[in-house]
């Protein structure tokens, strides 16, 4: 993993700092060394056509969104479109806390179990898949209920994505070499000189995003800050509900959920997924619990430490999610 204080570094990062949303390749490639397919600017990816038949339920992890969403879907005669960057991965069920098979049989869910654990999956690809799901649901005359805790996806749904240059493998290799020779902080200072706003929101060790920000200037001629020009869709804010609860209660629920994950077979799930071709890819490892379990299996940490670290990371994730969600000022907050 590239140095990153948040512990996650993919393009659909649920822990990312609020700010510019980037249009990464729809192919889902997120590795720094992945080949560029072009060097020109991209068109803004299409997003779902939203209307009065769309509703949105968000909230921090472990707040109880799934249970509430089932009741809402029944009342609205709706199908659920998952807004969860980790639910897209097949065979990763326990650590992602995705809806159970029984819950998905009760209400039709979309954008769950789309790709293998080895694959990368970008926010741009999610928008395309969400657009297709919305059209399919409408063809049956039903409403759409977006449910999930990945605010980056919600913000992309509301604001769209800024068109940015493609990945440039040669430029990225040079930046990685510079980081290895001089340190990631050197690249952060370069970014600060040309795009102070982006530098301010990125941790000096967040190498992947620093390189991407430098790459955008190098190939696109403008900074991420200049490229970001959202066109908010008011329907998202007008029809969004955010489930919340007192912090102590949320922390307690998170700690108990993590304990249940390990009791319910998370270690076996990780061992099985790692045995498949490609194992658990760098994007899927963003979910709290997977990197910790891999460290446990490698003998680097104890079971108790794996549980403690997963609880800590999940509490930190919930805090960041709530920070993100406060950027939706018109949303209705619901006590959990």
In a domain, 16, yes or no: no
One domain, residues 157 and 176:
no
In whole angstroms, what is the distance from residue 129 CA to residue 123 CA? 10
One domain, residues 199 and 288:
no
CATH code: domain of residue 267: 3.40.50.300
Q: Which of 227, 242, 268 is the last residue of a domain?
A: 227
Residues 6+ apart with CB under 8 A from 68: 57, 243, 334
One domain, residues 212 and 199:
yes
Q: How far apart are the first and last CA of the chain?
A: 35
Sheet of strand 143-147, all strands in order from the earlier edge strand to the far edge: 109-110, 78-82, 143-147, 54-58, 240-244, 332-335
One domain, residues 113 and 246:
yes
Residue 254: the pLDDT is 98
Domain count along the chain: 2
One domain, residues 64 and 175:
no
One domain, residues 65 and 189:
no
Kindly report each contact of residues 34-39 with a partner whose C-beta sits within 8 Å and lies 24 or more positions away, as own/partner: 34/167, 34/169, 35/167, 35/169, 36/166, 36/167, 36/168, 36/169, 37/166, 37/167, 38/166, 39/165, 39/166, 39/168, 39/219
One domain, residues 307 and 331:
yes
One domain, residues 86 and 157:
yes
Sign of CA pseudo-dihedral 299, 293, 269, 116: negative
In a domain, 36, yes or no: no
Residue 203: the pLDDT is 84
Residue 221: the pLDDT is 80
Q: 3-class SS at 157?
A: helix
Least confident of 105-109, 160-164, 264-268: 160-164
- List the structure tokens of 235: 């329907």
- Residue 300 reports pLDDT greater than 90: yes
DSSP H or E stretch at residue 80 = strand 78-82
Q: 3-class SS at 66?
A: helix
CATH code: domain of residue 183: 1.10.20.140
> pLDDT tens digits for 207-242?
988 999 999 999 888 887 776 656 778 889 889 999
> pLDDT tens digits for 41-90?
344 557 899 999 999 999 999 999 999 999 999 999 999 999 999 999 99
Residue 327: the pLDDT is 84
Residue 151: the pLDDT is 81
Compute CA distances 112 → 50, 84, 100, 104, 185, whole Å.
20, 8, 11, 10, 38
Residue 322: the pLDDT is 93
Which residues constitute the domain of residue 237? 44-162+229-336
In a domain, 109, yes or no: yes
Q: Compute the mean pLDDT over every residue in the chain, rounded to the nearest whole number.
A: 85
In a domain, 75, yes or no: yes
In a domain, 10, yes or no: no
In the predicted model, what is the mean pLDDT of residues 265-287? 94
What is the percent of the chain with per-residue pLDDT over 70, rounded to a whole number? Answer: 85
Q: Which of 209, 227, 245 is the last residue of a domain?
A: 227
One domain, residues 330 and 189:
no
In a domain, 145, yes or no: yes
One domain, residues 194 and 242:
no
In whole angstroms, what is the distance from residue 45 CA to residue 166 CA? 13
Residue 230: the pLDDT is 63
One domain, residues 135 and 273:
yes
One domain, residues 204 and 306:
no
Q: Which of 210, 227, 244 is the last residue of a domain?
A: 227
């Amino acid at each position: 993993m590239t140095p990153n204080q948040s512990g996650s570094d993919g393009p659909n990062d649920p822990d990312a700092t609020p700010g510019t949303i980037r249009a990464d390749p729809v192919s889902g490639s997120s590795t720094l060394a992945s080949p560029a397919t072009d060097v020109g600017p991209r068109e803004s990816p299409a997003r779902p056509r939203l209307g009065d038949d769309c509703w949105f339920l968000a909230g921090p992890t472990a707040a109880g969104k799934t249970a509430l969403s089932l009741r809402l879907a029944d009342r609205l005669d709706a199908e659920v479109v998952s807004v969860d960057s980790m639910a897209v991965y097949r065979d990763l069920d326990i650590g992602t806390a995705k809806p159970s098979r029984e819950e998905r049989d009760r209400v039709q869910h979309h954008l769950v179990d789309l790709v293998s654990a080895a694959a990368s999956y970008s926010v741009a690809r999610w928008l395309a898949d969400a657009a297709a799901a919305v059209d399919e649901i409408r063809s049956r005359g039903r409403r759409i209920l977006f449910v999930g805790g990945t605010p980056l996806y919600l913000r992309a749904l509301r604001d769209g994505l800024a068109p940015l240059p493609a990945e440039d493998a040669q430029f990225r290799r040079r930046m990685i070499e510079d980081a290895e020779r001089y340190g990631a902080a050197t690249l952060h200072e370069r970014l600060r000189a040309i795009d102070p706003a982006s530098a301010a929101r990125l941790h000096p060790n967040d190498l992947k995003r620093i390189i991407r920000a430098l790459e955008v200037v190098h190939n696109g001629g403008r900074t991420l800050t200049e490229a970001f020009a959202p066109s908010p869709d008011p329907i998202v804010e007008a029809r969004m509900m955010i489930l919340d609860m007192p912090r102590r209660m949320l922390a307690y629920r998170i700690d108990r959920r993590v304990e249940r994950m390990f009791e319910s077979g998370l270690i076996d799930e990780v061992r099985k997924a790692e045995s498949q071709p490609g194992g658990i890819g760098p994007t899927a490892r963003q979910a709290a619990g997977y990197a910790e379990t891999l460290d446990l299996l490698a003998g680097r940490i104890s079971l108790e430490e794996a549980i403690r670290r997963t609880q800590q990371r999940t509490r930190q994730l919930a805090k960041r999610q709530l920070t993100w969600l406060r950027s939706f000022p018109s949303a209705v907050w619901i006590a959990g």
